[in-house]
Structure formats: C-alpha cells, structure tokens
Amino acid sequence: MQWRASLEQASDVEADATGRPAGQPASDLSLRFEDVDLWFGGSKRRPAVQALSGVSFDVADREFCAIVGPSGCGKSTLLNLASGLRPATKGTVYVNGTPVRGLVPDIGYVTQDSNLLPWLTVEDNIRLPLQIRGVPADQQDALVERWIDLVGLDGFRRSHPRQLSGGMQKRCSIARTLVYDPPILLMDEPFGALDAMTKAIMQDALLRLWDEHQKTALFVTHDLSEALTLADKIVVITRRPGRVRTVVPVDIPRPRDVFHASELREFAAQHRVLWDMFAAEISAGGSK
C-alpha cells in the first residue's frame, strides 16, 4: 500500500494544470474506428469467422473509454486493430487522424497476461522499452527508478517475474508500458485475473496515473462495475460478430473514489441500465 502514497506525492509534484472537465471530451480525436469489419481464418478446411461487423466509434483525446461485451465478442481484437498488430478486413482505424497501416508508434499496450520477459529482472523489464527507443542511459535510470517506486516494486527490482505475485507482475507490466509515456494507452482486461482487493487498488492507481499523465485510454473489460468506475464513456459490444450496441457516457463526476464509486446513486442507475443490455447479449449468446 506504500506505493499509493508515493503515487500521491508524484501527482502533487506535477499539479493538475490541464483541468479537463469530466465527461467532456476534448475536441481533437485520438482514436476512430470507421465501419470496421474483421474476419478470421478462411482457409480451405475451415470457413472464415467474422469477429467484428461494422464497428464505428470515436475516442477523444485524453478520454477514458471502456469497451464491454460478452467474452469472445472481439473486444481484444479492437485493441490489436488500434495498435496495428492486425489489419482490419474492411473499414479503417485512425490514430490521431492517420489511418493505421502497420504498427503505431505512439501506443502503449497492456495485454491481458503480463507478458513480462521471464529472463529479465523487474528493473530490466521496465527498462526494455527505453532501450528499444534509444533513451539516453542516465534518463533510463531516472525513469526506471521513478516507475519502480510508483508501482511499489522497490524491494523487487532484481527479482525475476516468476518470483512475483500476479498483482506484482501486473504492476510491473503497467510500469513497463507507462514508462515510455505513450499518449495512447490500450488495456486488455488488465486486472481481470486479480483478486478484488488488489484489483481495486490497481484501479485506483490507474486513475491517478491517468489523471496525472493525461492519456487517451481504451480499456477492455467484461466487468461493468469496473467500466463505470473508470471510464468517461462505455462502448457496449454485442456477441459475435461484434457490433457496437450502444455508446454510453458515464455520468459519475471526477475525481472518482474507486473504493466507494459503486455506492453512488448515478452508479447504481447506470449499472442497472447497462446490465439489462449486457445480460440480453449474454443470454442471446447462450455462452458464459
């Protein structure tokens, strides 16, 4: 819990100068999905599967957008499209106004699994993107130092990932992504595998970092409460093939208290509406 304190200090240092009004996205678009279709496979033996169908939505600059939907609806695939790891079959994805062709340089991607390199220490894992980007060595040291501190892995800098708990691995993975300060953050159920307590703490930390560093975030989750707690806007995706069912702005004021957000009246009301929509998707799918 000590790392939360250091987080607060960090946000004190860089005082909130931007003053982004809650729920009011800035004018310039950061991410745009335009009528995106995606098909998987299609070999001689297996017929192609449609993962996404006519998906369109925007994420404004510095907006926190959550994507919810039943499992297997292609939520994660949206992130692969935005990062440029996978091309769309039809339609276009724009990042900062430019159509995505190949990998997008300004993106940080926190995958569902921590995906730390098992042969590198915590320290070296966090340093890796800085080495890749050719950041000077002295700046590397300072940044690594700062982020190890921020995510509370101070006593574990020379540990290897397998020696860490799931929550610590996740923290390391998030630090590794944020350390190079990407303006756009893609997150794929980053807290899905964590216990409730750790999850809440991580959510809290994420909101603080997001506040402090002013990033555009696209956050995939299957947890409605998590989406409501964190996001400015929720995109509900239908079961496969995934389409945009609806886009809902979240009315809960910021700054939010992660630990008590669910007690707010706005929260309960929105949760009910969203849940009915969500449940309909799930039962229609007949899967989990």
Partner 1 sequence: MTTDAATGASARVLSGSAGGEAPSPSGRKGLGWGTQVLRLVSFALILGLWQLAAGRWLPDYMISSPSQVAMRLWDLVSGSTPGLWKDIQVTAEELLVGYVLGVVSGVAVGLLLGYWRVGAAIFNPLITAINGIPKIALAPLFLIWFGIGLDSKVAIASMTVFFVMFYNSYMGVVTMPQELVNVLRVMGASRWMIIRKVTLPQISVPLLAGMKASVPFAMIGVIVGEFIAAQQGVGYLIDTATQNFDSATVFAGIVVLMIMMMIGMLLIALIERRVLRWQRD
3-state secondary structure of 183: coil
User: Closest approach of Cβ 113 to partner 1, in Å?
Assistant: 7
Residue 103 or 197 having the CB closest to partner 1: 103
What is the nearest approach in angstroms of partner 1 to the Cβ of residue 220?
15
Nearest distance, CB of residue 82 and partner 1, angstroms: 10
Nearer to partner 1, 41 or 249 (CB): 41
Measuring CA to CA, which residue among 107, 111, 115 is closest to residue 84? 107
| Closer residue to partner 1 in complex, CB, 58/113 | 113
84 vs 93, 100, 102, 109, 256, CA distance in Å?
9, 6, 5, 11, 32
**C-alpha gyration radius of the chain:** 19
Q: Decide: residue 269, CB within 10 A, 0-12 exposed, 13-18 middle, 19+ buried.
A: exposed
For the bound state, the minimum distance from the C-beta of residue 11 to partner 1, rounded and expressed in Å, comes to 25
- Output 103 or 196, the one with its CB closest to partner 1: 103
Residue 116: CB minimum distance to partner 1, A: 9
For 137, phi then psi, to 5°, come to -60, -40
Which pair of tokens denotes residue 107?
Answer: 């993106």
Binding site for partner 1 (CB under 8 A): 83, 85, 103, 105, 107-109, 111, 113, 115, 117-120, 128-129, 131-133, 160, 163, 180
Return the number of the residue (143 or 248) whose C-beta is nearest partner 1: 143
User: What is the tally of helices (H) and strands (E) in the chain?
Assistant: 8, 10
Give least dist CB 256 to partner 1, A.
28
Greatest C-alpha distance within the chain: 59
Nearer of residues 3 and 40 to partner 1, judged by Cβ: 40
Distance CA 37, CA 50 (A): 8
